[in-house]
Amino acid sequence: MQYKNPATDRLFRAILTLKDIDECYSFFEDACTIKEILEIAGRFEVACQLTENKSYQQISKDTGVSTTTISRVSRCLQYGNGGYRTAIERIQEEK
């Protein structure tokens, strides 16, 4: 299944309508398992820590994420579509 399709577009439009963290928790708890939410959150935390130039070992210790996953996230930061970087920059701007 190609992931760029009308159903995925609708999902992302729905996510963009969520107004606060509580609404995000409600939506994602309905849409995903707790494990899935924690896995996505873990990957995003890895991306944040990689942009802070932390070592793989420190990130793994802090997050419990495997170095294999850290490597995948690192490749996304280096060669991906910029999604992690955009989100990280925007939450840093909020601070």
Decide if pLDDT at 95 tops 90. no
What whole-number distance in Å separates Cα of residue 30 and Cα of residue 43?
20
Categorize the per-residue pLDDT at 1 as very low, low, confident or very high, splitting at 50, 70 and 90. Answer: low
38 Rama sector, left if φ>0, alpha if ψ -120 to 50, beta otherwise: alpha
Which domains, from first to last, does the chain contain? 1-31 (no CATH), 41-94 (1.10.1270.10)
Closest CA to 92 of 59, 48, 58: 48
Model pLDDT for residues 12-61, shown as the tens digit of each residue: 999 999 999 999 999 999 999 999 999 999 999 999 999 999 999 999 99
Q: pLDDT tens across 67-84, in order?
A: 999 999 999 999 999 999
Has this prediction a pTM greater than 0.85? Answer: yes
